[in-house]
Structure 1
Amino acid sequence: MSSQDIPEENLPSEQGDAHDGAVATTADPFADPGLPPHEHRVQDIDERAAKRSERVIAFLFLLSMLATVGFIASYVALPVDKIIYVYPIGHVSALNFSLGLTLGVALFCIGAGAVHWARTLMSDVEVADDRHPISAEPEVKAKVLADFKAGAEESAFGRRKLIRNTMFGALALVPLSGVVLLRDLGPLPGTKLRHTRWSAGKLLINQNTNQPLRPEDISVGSLTFAVPEGMKEDDHDFQQEVAKAALMIVRIQPENIKDKKELDWSADGIVAYSKICTHVGCPISLYEQQTHHVLCPCHQSTFDLSDGGRVIFGPAGHALPQLRIKVNEKGYLEALGDFAEPVGPSFWERG
């Protein structure tokens, strides 16, 4: 349908002045209506109101800082297993509740402070700008930089020092929440990685029969697993301790033992090595009688038990630690001390 077919009373008539002086005629029915008159906020005309808003924003940022400190304090002070009752939620972990509450308050106050700052103190004058090609001309670049500078001045970022400083403090403290969460990687090990439950005089207990081992219980070519005397499966820390103290025992003809230290630490050709692979800590369980090699099933690291447990293949970084043993006066195998070096995978402190 052409414009000639439209009744005259339905055609748009001339409108008043539009944005930039444009006049709407029948040839331009979609003229820019322009922006409504700008309405000043109370903070724009009353410095006392602006100061009140500034104090509110600073208070929110300070509250965020205190909440972050509370987050860190809760993380350090509250035990993991402490349970509290919170109405109407019920029984919850005190640590989880305090961490969620304090971190939520810290993040909320930063956001609320930024929003309140933008709505009350930053310039809210609407500016219309025509679209332009993507490739900017030098004049446009200069205009953008000038607009940015003007925006920075209008935000009062340099003039409202109280807001600026408290915001920097809140933003600087919040990342500490993530730093302290690294504790969830586990408690600091101290010297726990360097010690196991083995000590001088502890008997070697067969892990299958729970009976002390005698030399005659171990035949040439067999592989026997042992744990220290006194360990029980119902102990609360059994899994942690057996993961370090698990032992594998083989019997090799003394003339086939290549390493002198290994021979000195053995008893009648019976050698005891850590069962924990020195790559990522998998339990070793595959033994080849003819070569005296043991294989880790996880990543195929191979160790020679006739040559000090050294690595002959695979990604493991060092030899299996050996436990020094002897036969006591009652005819049982017993340890002469703990492992001389940490068992299991390498770690950065290991010398």
Structure 2
Amino acid sequence: MAGEEGSPVAMSDEADSDKMNDAQIVPSSPGPIPDPGLEPYVERYSDTDPEVGRRVYRQIVTMYGLVPILAVAFVVFYFAIPRDAAVRFGPLHTSAMNLALGGTAGLAILLIGLASIHWAKQVMDDRESVDERHELASSPEDRKAVGQIWRTGAEESRLGRRKMIGLALGSALGALALPALVSLADLGPKPTSKLRAETIERTIWAEGVRLVNDVTFAPVKASDMEIGELVNAQPENLEKLEGAERQVERAKSSIIIVRMDPDSIKIPDSRKDWQVGGILSYSKICTHVGCPISLWEQQTHHLLCPCHQSTFDLGDSGVVVFGPAARALPQLPITVNSEGYLVARSDFTVPVGPSYFERDSRHDFKKGDN
């Protein structure tokens, strides 16, 4: 029957009802929204009440003025607090120096930020302005107006009337340079000639120290080496060191030992006693940027650095034959002891590793010195 559930009439009524509901849900277009414009300007207490303005002014100057004091405190703490001093907070503890330096430097930076925000909110002009959108390329008139805007901004900052704020800000920022300069001392000690001679310009090689394999630490016997062979080695006394000291000395003292036919190499008169039957030892550290090298070409006696292809002729006192390295590979004077093991005659005669401008290069071996 018509009107029963599922009948065509009932379905038509439901469709009409849905259309009516959709029409009620969809809102009509409101049209363009009018420009509300700027809200009425409300003056701040610091502008209307002279006493409030003066109090804000004093607060800003005080915060800026505390920064130089904190900067000086930073320097005092840096030199006065022992490096091993600690501060305990129950079961926790921290470095007293780190706490003092972090506290003074952090508080100084915080005060500069707070004072600047206080200045901007309470002293600088806070009237809102409207800037119409414009093309990306500024016109000459706009560029000319930038100067006027800058001058207007300077006037609105009111530094002309509140000169102490500018002076306090300048002294605060300038004082922060003091802790930064003092902290540079932590980059390391000043590289004086005496310090260099005791550190980077010396190794643990010394007279009588045996040359040992850098993996097994077995001493190297001259009679066991064959022509064309290369051995990576270290000083035997490296085993006595531990921790960071061991790693530092290992990095400086690493060597390679090679054996060549004495008739196929050039040995200058000044180095006749630096080798044993064609067995020579050189630093393993490239003189360019310090890469470890052991790419050995037996026929040409060339040693190639894998980093930047600097090539050294070990058959000619380690001179550079190709690449960016500027000086010969340092040679370690060696001999044999009573048991036939290879030992050092002395330390290297020149600093190992990359060159640096302070070092004395007069004793470097150069091609033509043979």
The yes-or-no answer on 1:339 pairing with 2:354 is no
Structure 1 residues 33 and 294 mapped into 2: Cα distance closer, same or farther (>3 Å)? closer
Alignment equivalent of 1:254, drawn from 262, 282, 287: 262
- Structure 2 counterparts to residues 259-298 of structure 1, below 5 A: 259-260=267-268, 261-298=270-307
Structure 1 residues 316 and 73 mapped into 2: Cα distance closer, same or farther (>3 Å)? farther
Q: Which amino acid aligns with 1:155?
A: S
- Structure 2 counterparts to residues 80-229 of structure 1, below 5 A: 84-86=87-89, 90-92=92-94, 97-98=99-100, 100-124=102-126, 126-129=127-130, 131=132, 133-134=134-135, 135-136=138-139, 138=141, 145-175=147-177, 190-191=195-196, 192-229=199-236
Kept after mapping to 1: 8 A contact 2:44/2:122: no
Bigger drift between 311-320 and 324-333 goes to 324-333
Q: Which amino acid aligns with 1:229?
A: E
- Structure 2 counterparts to residues 13-28 of structure 1, below 5 A: none
The yes-or-no answer on 1:30 pairing with 2:38 is no
Kept after mapping to 1: 8 A contact 2:71/2:179: yes
Structure 1 residues 43 and 128 mapped into 2: Cα distance closer, same or farther (>3 Å)? closer
Kept after mapping to 1: 8 A contact 2:45/2:52: no
Whole-Å separation in 2 of the counterparts to 1:316 and 1:81: 42
Kept after mapping to 1: 8 A contact 2:45/2:53: no
Structure 1 residues 337 and 314 mapped into 2: Cα distance closer, same or farther (>3 Å)? same
Structure 1 residues 41 and 288 mapped into 2: Cα distance closer, same or farther (>3 Å)? same
More helix by share: 2
Q: Which amino acid aligns with 1:247?
A: I
Task: Give the CA deviation at 1:298.
Answer: 3.3
TM-score for both structures, normalised by structure 2: 0.72
Task: Give the CA deviation at 1:349.
Answer: 2.4
User: What are the ranges of 5 or more consecutive residues in structure 2 without an aligned counterpart?
Assistant: 1-31, 361-370
Secondary structure of the 2:58 match is helix
1:126-181: CA deviations, max 9, x gaps?
A: 2545637555574x667654453343233222333322122112222435666666
1:232-256: CA deviations, max 9, x gaps?
A: 1761211110100111111223222
State the percentage of identical aligned residues: 43
- 1:238 — aligned with what? 246
TM-score for both structures, normalised by structure 1: 0.75
- 2:66 — aligned with what? 63
Kept after mapping to 2: 8 A contact 1:257/1:263: no
Structure 1 residues 186 and 280 mapped into 2: Cα distance closer, same or farther (>3 Å)? farther
Task: Give the CA deviation at 1:37.
Answer: 4.6
Task: Give the CA deviation at 1:197.
Answer: 1.0
Kept after mapping to 2: 8 A contact 1:158/1:164: no
Taking only aligned residues, the RMSD between alpha carbons, in angstroms, comes to 3.5
What is the total number of aligned residue pairs between the two structures?
320
User: What are the ranges of 5 or more consecutive residues in structure 1 without an aligned counterpart?
Assistant: 1-27
Kept after mapping to 1: 8 A contact 2:60/2:118: yes
- 1:316 — aligned with what? 325
Task: Give the CA deviation at 1:274.
Answer: 0.3
Q: Which amino acid aligns with 1:30?
A: P
Kept after mapping to 2: 8 A contact 1:262/1:322: no
